[in-house]
A and B are shown apart, each in its own frame.
Chain A
Amino acid sequence: ETGVTQSPTHLIKTRGQQVTLRCSSQSGHNTVSWYQQALGQGPQFIFQYYREEENGRGNFPPRFSGLQFPNYSSELNVNALELDDSALYLCASSARTSDRGEQYFGPGTRLTVT
């Protein structure tokens, strides 16, 4: 198992609500990437945080936002939830200074929007 943790493990929200998901990166890793994995699909890149700043963003609307804290943990916030936001949300930590690029995933948060 990796040292990446996520909370909560499961969450049920109603359309229009807001949600915050949390991720603690592996020790020594300074970069956190967030992915959305819909059922039967590969992970889709949402955004990445490095040294508390957004460092790249995928094709997701502004209602998906994030933060990274000085201890490199991170939050993903989603506003105005839609039914299609139901998915497994994965965070992955990596060492930005690594020239190998390995990313290690947390167990994910299963979000259901009703």
Chain B
Amino acid sequence: GENVEQHPSTLSVQEGDSAVIKCTYSDSASNYFPWYKQELGKRPQLIIDIRSNVGEKKDQRIAVTLNKTAKHFSLHITETQPEDSAVYFCAAPRGQAGTALIFGKGTTLSVSS
């Protein structure tokens, strides 16, 4: 089945710096890769996703890149702000898009001002 590895487990940056979180997946048939942000005591929130037919997607300060050959995808946050501090999870589908997700173990991002 699908396996998702996420690195690093913790990441500390200064406000204004960039942050990059990387994930690898095992199932070459996977075609949908979402990223979730979870603040303390709250639900995971979908912040960006990418399908396998594109290599990069941007939404303001966040972007996701996908390398299908290497089976890895990354989350990039530019101009980080203290409110970006949270746990970030990558995920990949157990089967086709629309089915359940397998999550990475999470990255705790701390942005200090």
**A contacts, CB < 8 Å to B:** 2, 31, 33, 35, 40-45, 47-48, 55-56, 58, 90, 92, 94-108
Contact = CB atoms under 8 A, between A and B. Distances in A.
Contacts of B95: 56
- Taking residues whose C-beta sits less than 8 angstroms from the other chain, chain B's interface range is 20 to 34
Contacts, number: 73
A102 B34 contact: yes
Interface of B: 6, 32, 34, 36, 42-46, 49, 51, 89, 91, 93-106
Nearest to A48: B100
A100 B105 contact: no
Nearest to A41: B105
Residue among B34, B42, B43 facing the most chain A CB atoms (10 A cut-off): B43
Contact of B93 (A31, A47, A55, A101): A101
A104 to B, nearest CB: 7
Contact of B34 (A56, A96, A99, A101): A101
